[in-house]
Amino acid sequence: MEVHKKLKDPLVNMSIRDELNAIEMGIDSIVVCGEYQKTITNDVLLLSKLESNQFQLVLKPFQVMNLIEIVTQMFEASCKTKNISIKRELGHGIDELMILSDFTRVSQILINLLSNAVKFTHSGCITISVSHRYIHGGDSNRIELEFRVKDTGVGIHDKDKFIIFDRFMQATQRNMSEYQGSGLGLFISKTLTELMGGSIRVESRADVPGSTFSFTIQCQVCEPPPSSTNQVKKQVQNKNAQPVILLSTASIINSFKVPAAENQIRLSVLVVEDNNINMKVLVRMVQNCNCDCKSAKDGVEGLEMYNKYKFDLILMDVTMPRMCGYECTRRIRALERERGVVDPVVILGLSGNARFEHQEEGIASGMNTYMLKPIQQASILNAVEERRRELESKVQSEVRLVPDSGETSDM
């Protein structure tokens, strides 16, 4: 009865709806994040297709506001961690604009620019500006759409502004050991914008904080179907709406829960991952497999956690600031050798890079195996169950070796 009364309380209902709205936006961000990690994995293949003119855009209608909401949501947690504010400046009509373009590739370019802005900004804010103008002549529905990402981070030398859009190149002002990347992001972004009839450029000075990256694309305006007009805008702004869709997404989160077997060993797992969204997803996946889980945001924190707690399994991201996953793994293995550890912790390397030499480096550093992102729940479950079987088998072997001293025979 007391719970029933509380559920009738409008303040309680509003709180629940707020949480569900946050869950929905989080899931949308996770989906895009996973799709983007697939794109990273295929960067080399994409580069090959782009250069051999075998690449084709996939044109579908979508709301520009939808793309903006989902992509910016991906970076809110990392901006909050660094105490950076992120804001949007939308031109007239952007909140209702629906276009025919390649959602995945437009979001890939915007994610690349935002990722760089967050990486190189340590204080201040990041501003995303979006505007459009109609292209006169020919098709009256044809527009030029412009995205601008302005940060307050490290500036770029004039000489570097000419090379940062080349493949495998990074600005020397920004290319310090704590910043990692393939050097392909801006090159691919430039190629994609040109394929969509646009261009990309940068405004920055080495002696003044801040850089502004902007890109344009040409596309066609579409009429949104009545059922989908302003759908995302209403979901974000209308906190009092009935959460019909939201309840279904909340149930998806819990649908992966694996029932615990009787007398099952509960593993202790460490997740080392610098991306906040990825970390939350991995932690939830591990917990769904009936494990205790702790997390660390980079190799330095991961090493500290290893020294503080005992873990059966470590999920180790490869590319992280301060200390990468390879180095963290090498140091863990060195500590195990020094301490004479009989049962070393199992370390699974996680990366979006599918190149064979990267996988070889992971194994050489001491990782037991190397898994490609985006990581699926089934992959986590298989890894957990394999480790659990190893530990259970070891326990059974130890039990068999213990002599029975409780009984004696009379002669």
pLDDT in tens, 32-44: 555 555 545 556 6
Q: How far apart are the first and last CA of the chain?
A: 70
**Selection from 93, 112, 94, 96 nearest residue 104 by Cα:** 112
Query: Domain limits of the chain?
Result: 19-224, 267-389
- The reported pLDDT for the residue numbered 184 is 73
- The reported pLDDT for the residue numbered 13 is 56
The model's pLDDT over 119-141, given as tens digits with 9 standing for 90+, comes to 889 889 999 999 999 987 656 78
Return d(Cα 116, Cα 84) in angstroms, integer: 14
The CA-atom distances, in angstroms, between 74 and each of 98, 111, 276, 277 are 21, 9, 9, 7
The β-bridge partners of 145 are 132, 217
Helix axes 103-120, 10-41, angle to 10 degrees: 100
Task: Tell me the two tokens of residue 250.
Answer: 């909340």
- The reported pLDDT for the residue numbered 246 is 28
Q: H/E element holding 336?
A: helix 325-339
pLDDT < 50: residue spans in the chain: 39, 169, 171-182, 227-255, 407-411
DSSP conformation letters of 205-237: ETTEEEEEEEEEEEEEEEPPPTTTTTHHHHHHH
**Selection from 73, 109, 246 nearest residue 185 by Cα:** 109
The model's pLDDT over 137-177, given as tens digits with 9 standing for 90+, comes to 656 788 999 999 999 988 887 777 777 877 654 544 444 44
- The reported pLDDT for the residue numbered 261 is 65
- Assigned CATH for 267-389: 3.40.50.2300
Return d(Cα 90, Cα 231) in angstroms, integer: 17
- The reported pLDDT for the residue numbered 238 is 42
**Selection from 210, 213, 85, 201 nearest residue 148 by Cα:** 213
Distance of CA 369 to the CA centre of its chain: 21
The model's pLDDT over 71-116, given as tens digits with 9 standing for 90+, comes to 888 888 778 888 899 999 999 999 889 999 998 889 989 988 998 8
Burial class (CB in 10 A: 0-12, 13-18, 19+), 200: buried
pTM of the model: 0.50
* Domain 19-224, second-level architecture: 2-Layer Sandwich (3.30)
